[in-house]
Amino acid sequence: MAKHKPNRQPVTQDRIRAKAAELGFVACGIASADVAPRTGERLRQWLHDGMHGDMIWMEARAHQRESPTGLWPQVRSVIALGMSYAPAADPLALADARDVGRISVYAQGADYHDVVKRALKALGRWLATEADCDLKVFVDTAPVMEKPLAEAAGLGWQGKHTNLVSRAHGSWLFLGAIYTTLDLAADAPGRDACGSCDACQRACPTDAFPQPYRLDARRCISYLTIEHAGPIPHEFRKGIGNRIYGCDDCLAVCPWNKFAATAARNLAFAPRAELTVPMLADLLALDDAGFRQIFAGSPIKRIGRNRMVRNCLIAAGNSGEAALLSAVQRLLADPDPVVSEAAEWALDQLAL
């Protein structure tokens, strides 16, 4: 006797959006796999100009980033998703705090890779069951251009700071994507609404925007404090101020943030107390074990103790705080040459 197969409802945009919302996504849109044809051209020019700095993986798999089909030829539709991490407090509030290090808002809570990936997988399982399709899920670690895909799917637009801006959620969205073999009806793409505003361009402390909509990562504080492994170039050290992991300045000043509601934020991204106002003296005293303990479950853990201490030494050198002298002096003999060099610089600055 043949088994009875239940009648499946058609998988529509509305059903996908409803399931995505149930899983914590505040934004969901659909694009055809062949959208954003200029993405590859822009990527190639950016790489040619060397603006990716040390991020060699951007160049190594550029052909797969240029379009969804470059990574997976079978893909027909892309489901772009956004999860809010809108901050309750002003990200710039600690700009003048001399003995404190500033950590970017997105890294003060749980690791977004884990939270978003878990929700993407759940949505993927549901979609595969409902539609009997093949799919792949991505969040940040694969050769996927999430921002132009999100724009193509109508989640917002890439602003002059090159990040996605949403009318409803401002600049505070973690992005993920599902590639699927389904032919889904596409949403209208996002429309640029930056207008004449250049607040993000003026806010950058290291002039990382050679022109609107173009970022030179080599000058970006987020790149310098997270991706760059060697000594931080001297020309950027003063501009870094007390930022020890990432930078929110260009995002925080975006006027579209006034529409972002913290109630939409996933509770997993609520800031951990020890990461909201971290004292430089405590962080300068960290060894590897202490670093791993404090930053367990945080995206910060991936940069390692040495890079974090390097960043804190730059912040200490900018602080003018004589109370940090002893902590800095202890690091002059650090076995990591990048750390010991940063300690020498910080000591010189504190002696001025």
Catalytic site positions: 140
Between the two ends of the chain, the Cα-to-Cα distance in Å is 88
* CA-to-CA separations, 352 to 313, 318, 345, 347, in angstroms, rounded: 16, 11, 11, 9
Residue pair 331/339 in contact by the 8 Å Cβ criterion = yes
Q: Which of 299, 193, 220 is nearest to 53 (CA)?
A: 220
